[in-house]
Structure 1
C-alpha cells in the first residue's frame, strides 16, 4: 500500500497524530490515513471481512500492547473495503472518562449510522483510556444498541471492563491478540528491504526471535539497520541491548501494570520459560490470577511445549529483557535468591544445563563444579556439549569437573589425544567436600576409556580408585564408573568381575541412569562375550543392544548407529537391500527427528546415519524421485553444515551426488559441492563430485582433467572404484577404447574384494556399454563381471536414458523388425502413439534411426 500523510496520520501504533490528550475529539472521524508502507495481512483481512458480513451485530476486540499494529490493521482493512459501509472512527482519550462528555460525543451516533441504510462499522480506538465505570457503561450501552448489519471494533492496549465475556457467550465476539498481529517472515523481510537492506536467513531468524513480530520494534530495528554497513553485527547488538528498539513500547506496557503483576513478571523473567510450579517457587502471587490479568493488560507471552516438560510459558523476549534489567538494578540480592531457587528447581526437574545457567549467573564456583561433576554427564550424553562450553566460557573452563566433561566429550568424538590432554591438565581448583572421591573415580573411568579407544595400556592404578570410591548419589556418574571399571577388569583378564560390574551398571537404569549409558553397557556385554569366545551370546547381545537403541531413540549414538550407518552404507555400495524386518531398515524408513531447544530439528539417528538411510531409500526404486533426492541433499548439506568429520562425512559426497544428478537436481548438486568444498577443501571426494557434474552436462574433457588429478592417489575403495569407472566413461566417450578398457578393468579389480557395485549402477548406461566391450583378462574374475551385469539388469540398466515403461516395451518391439502399424495393433494403441514413443526413444538414446536405436540399446544392455 502506498504511503499517505495527513493531519490525521498514524505511523504504526496508536492514535492519529496531532490529537491532544486533554481535548475531546470530534464526535467521530474517518479512518486515519497511514504514513507507513503497510504490509498486507490477508488472513486478518479475511477474518474481519467475515465478521463484518454477518447480519447480526458483532464485535471485534483487538487487544495488544503498544506498537503491535492494531490501528494500522483496522485502518488498512477499512481502506481496502469494497463493500458499501458507513464507517465512523472514534478515538478515545483520558477526557472520555467524563461520562457526560463521552455521552455528548456519542449521542445520536448510532442513530446517524443506522439511518444511513447500509452496514456500519464503528471503531473505538484507544479504548483502554476509558476506565471510569460510568463512562464504561456509556460505551457498553453504545455497543449493546448496535443495529443489525453493524460491527463494533474495539482497539486497545489493555482490555477495558466491557461485557466481553457475555459477547463471547452470545457468539458475537471475535478476539485478536498480539500473536495474531505478530508479523511473520514475509512482512519482516519487506520492512527491512523498505529501508534498503536484505538480511540472510540467520540474521532474519535472529531478528524475528528477538521481536517475535512486534511491529514497532521490528520497524525500529529496520531503521537502525539502515544506518549500519554490518547488518549481522547490528542485529547481534540489538539482541544484547534490545532496549534501543523497544524502550517506549515496553515501558508503555510495564508502567501500566499493578505492582503485584510487575513483581511477578520480574521474578519469572529470571528464567526463559516457567510452569505453574516453578512460578510459585519464584513468586508468591497466584498464578491463576496472573494468567488472567496478564491477558487483560496485554502483556505478550510465548509458549513452549515438550513431551518431557509439558507446556511452559515465558515472557516476550523484549518484555523479559526490560524486566530483568529492572530487577538487577533495583534488587541484586533478590536476583541472587531467585537464581538459587531456579537452579534447585531445574535440577529436580532433571534439567541440569538450565540449572547450571543460574549458578553461572551467581558466579558460585564451588556449586558449579559440584553440579558439573554430578550432573554434567547427562548434558554430554544428551549431545549438548557446545551449549555447556558456551555457558561456562573461559572463566570456568579449568574447574576439575569441567575438564573431566571436556575429556568425556572428546572420548565421545573418538579423540583420545584431546581427552588425554584435558584429563592431564593441572587443576586450577580442587573439588572439595563429599564429592572429592567421586571426582577421583570419574577421572579413573575416563583414563580407562581413553586407553580403550586410544589403543594404549590399561591404567592399573585405576582399579585402586574404583575400589576406594563409594556411590556418588548420581545414577549417571555411578553407572559410568561401573561401566569403565568393568572394561578395565575385562582387559586385565578378569571377565567374571567384568560381567558382574556390567550387570550392576545395568541395574542403575532402574534408578534413572541415562539410556545412552545403558546402551553402552549392553554393547560392552556383547564385546565381553566376543572376548571370551562366546560368539552366539555376542550376536544375541548385539541384537538386543540394537533393539534397545531403536526402542529408546538412541540413533545418534556411537554405540548403535555408527554401526548401523556402516551396515547401511555397506548394503548400499553392494546394491543390496536390507530385509524389511531388519532393525536398521526400520530406522531407515522412519528416520525420526528430535527438536532442539531453539525449536529447530535434527535427525535422532545423527547426520551420517540420516544420509546413509536416505541414500538407501533413494536406491530402492529404478530412479530416485525428486523428493528422495532432496531428502539426500538436505541430509548431506545439514551434516556438512553441523560439523563434518574428515574421513567419514566426505565419503558420502559422491554417492549423494549420484542420486542428486540422477534426479536432475543441478542447482542442488552445486549447493552440495559448495558445502563440501567449504567443509573439506578440494579433497578427492570433492574433485570426483565435480567430475560427475561435468560428465552429466557433457563436458567430457573437463571431467577427464579433474579425474586425472586424483585417479592415482590413495583413495577410499568406493571412491577409487568410482574415479576409475568415470575415467573409463570419459575414455569411451572420447573413443579411446583401449584406455577405457584399462580403466574399467582397474575399477572392477578394486570393486571385487568388497563387491562394490553401486558406482556401476550410478552410470548404468555407460557401464553396460563398457562391459559389453570389455576384453577378456584382467585381475578381476569373470564371475564378478557377470555379477555386475546381473545387478545392472536387476536395477534396470537403462535408467540413465530415462526410458518409461511403455518406451521400453516399444523398444523391444522395434527390435523384432515389425512395422510401426503392426506394433500399434499388438499394443492396442494408435499409430500416432507408437510414433510418439519412437521419437522419444530416438531422442533419449541420441540416435536417428531404428537400426541405431536397436544397436545402441543392445550395447547398453537394454535389450
Structure 2
C-alpha cells in the first residue's frame, strides 16, 4: 500500500506460487487479477506489494464510484503519495487525470508499480475508456495490476496481441493444503493433518472461508470437533463461520463490527460514535494487523473498509439485532458535519428519511457538480422513490450537466413554484441558485431575449446566516459567470465585463479555479467593444491560468481561444490567428453550447475574410447562421451583414438582394446591415445610395457593434465618394478610418473592403498614419515569403522598420516613437546590416521580400 514499508503485514503468508506468478506478470505492461468475492485478491496484492521492493501506488476504489473526476483524483493522490510529492491534486472539474498521472509516472526515476483494486466498483462510463487508454500508454518502467470481480470491462486487446497483458484468474487463487496449514500456523492454530485436509476440502481453498474458520478456531475449545462439524459451500459456509467467529470475539469487537457494517468506510471517531464507546481505532488497527477482513485505505491508517463479503454478512446479522435506521441517521449527521454531502445523503436515504435526504441533495447539488460529482448527483436522484418532493432544483442541475436545458427549465419552474413552501432561512440560497441555473439554461439554449430582466437581483450575503453564505458562494459565482456571458450576448459589454470580473473574484476567494478560469475566458470578448489590445491581454491571461491548471484543451478555455483568434485577425496577424483557431476547434465539443459554436464559426469567417478566401468565409457564416439559438442574439446583425457582403464579393448579387429584402426593420437599422446594403449599392454602381445608407452609421444614430463596423463604414463612404468624383471627401473618410484603426492597428476592414487602392493614392505627407498605411498595403500584397535574415530584427528595430517606407525623416520617426534621434540612427544602422542593405530603399525592398513589413510583424 502507499507508503507501507518494512516486514510483511501480520496474518499474511507468502503464497510462493502466486507471488512468483505476479513476479513473472510484472515483466509485462499490465496484469489483470479477476476472481469472485472473498478469493483473496486484496490480501495477495498487499503481500506481493511488500515483496516486490519497487515503489508502489495502491488504490482501492470506493464503493459505487460514479464520477471519473473523483477516481482520477484519488489515483493521482495515491501516485503522489508513492513518489513523495507534497503537491495537492488539482481541483475538479476539468483536469486531465490520465495525462496528470502519466506525467507523474514518467517523472519517476525507477521501476514503479500501480495497483488498482476493486475495479468493479468503478461505475463511470467515462472513466473506463480513459483508464484503458492510460494502461495502454504507460511510461517505460511502469507496471500496472488491476483487480476486479468477474470479467474486466477494460478493452486491452491491443496489449494482449502485443504480448504485454498477463492474467490471473479465480481458478489460480484457492489455497492449497500446504498453504492452509501455513495459514493456520501463522494464526497460532494447531490441528491435525487430517483436520487440515478436511478444512481445505470443505472450504475448497476459498480464502474468505478459511480466514473466517481460523478466526473461529483461534478461540475454540475443541478445534478438531469444530472442523468436523461444519459443511456446505459458499454463503452457507460463510454465514456459519461468521456466526462462529463473532461468538468468539470480545463483546466490544462484536459491537464495533456489527454497528459499523452500515458504513462503506469507517474511522475511529465515527466508530466511537456508532458504538457509544472509545478506543475503536485501536480495535480497527488490531483487526487489520490480524488480517481479519479489515483494510486501511490511507497512508496514515485512519480510514478502513471491510472486505465486501464480510461487510455484507455483518449487515445480515445486524438486521436481527439492532435499529439499522438509527445507525444510518447518526452516520448521516456525522458525514454532514464533516462536509461529505454524498455520504450523508446516502445514509439519510438508507434511514428512510427521504425529506431530509431531498433537502440535503438540493442544497448541495450545484456544489457537488462543481466538485466533479455530477454522476453521483444523478445516482442519488435515481435512488429516491417516485413522488418525493423538493428535488426539482437537483433535477435541474443534473439535466443542465447532461446538456438538456429544456428539461432543466421545466424543473426550474417547479422549483420556483416550491419557493413559498421552502423554509424561510433557505429561500435566499434557493433563489440565488435558481437565478444561476436560469442563466446557465439560457446560455445552453442560446436564448438571451429578456433573460437578464427576468432574473431577480442576486440576494445580498449580508442578510444570510454564515452557513447560507458558504452554501450560496458557489451559486453566486456561477450566477455572476452566467450573468456576464448572457450580458455579452446582448452586447451589454460593460455590464458583462463587470459581472465577469466580480465572478472571477468570488471564485478566487472560495477556491473555485474552474469557475475563475471560465469567467476570465469570456472577459476577452467584453473588451472587443473598444480595445482589441485589452481583449488580447484578457485572453492571454485566461489561457495562462488555464494552462497552469492543465485545462489548455478543455472547453472552459475555448472562448478565450476564439476571441484571441478573432482579435488577431482584426490586426492582420493571420498566421497566429490560424493557430489559436485550431486550438479552439480542438477544445470545442461537437453539439456543445450554441453560443460558443456560433462564435467559433464567426472567428473562422473573420480569418477567411482577412485572407481573401470568400468561399470559405461564406461557408462559415452560413454555418454560424444555422446554429440553433432559441432567441435572437446581438451578433445576428454581424453574421447576416457579413453574409450579404460576402455574397456580393462572390458575385451572388441576386442572393444578396434577396437576403436584404428578407431583413426586418429592426435589423435593417443596425450598422452592420446598413454597411452590407452599402456594399451591395457599390456593386450595383449606385455610390450615392451607398453614401445615403451609411449616413446614420457615420453620425452614430444607427445601432452598431464594435469599432470594426465604424471603420468599415468610413472606408465604404470613401469608396463611394471616390466613385462620385469627390476626392476630398474620399480622403477625409479614409483618414477617419485610419484614425479609428490606429490605436489597435486594426487592418481587417481595409482588407475586407478592398480599400488598398484608395490608400495607395493618399500622399504620405498628407496623412498622420503613414506607418499604418504601409502595414495595410503590405497586408493586401501577395509577395511570397523569402528566407529569413541571418539575424532576426529586435522589436525596437521592427518598430523603426515600419516607418522606413514612408517619407518621414529620421527626426520625424524619432518623434513618432518618442525616442532620441541617436536611437533611431542606431536602429537603422542595425537594420541595414541585418538585411544586407546599403540604403533605405534597399532595406524596404528586402524587408518586403522577407514579409517583415506584413501586418503580423508590424
| TM-score category (smaller protein) | 0.3 to 0.5
- Scaled by the length of structure 1, the TM-score of the pair is 0.38
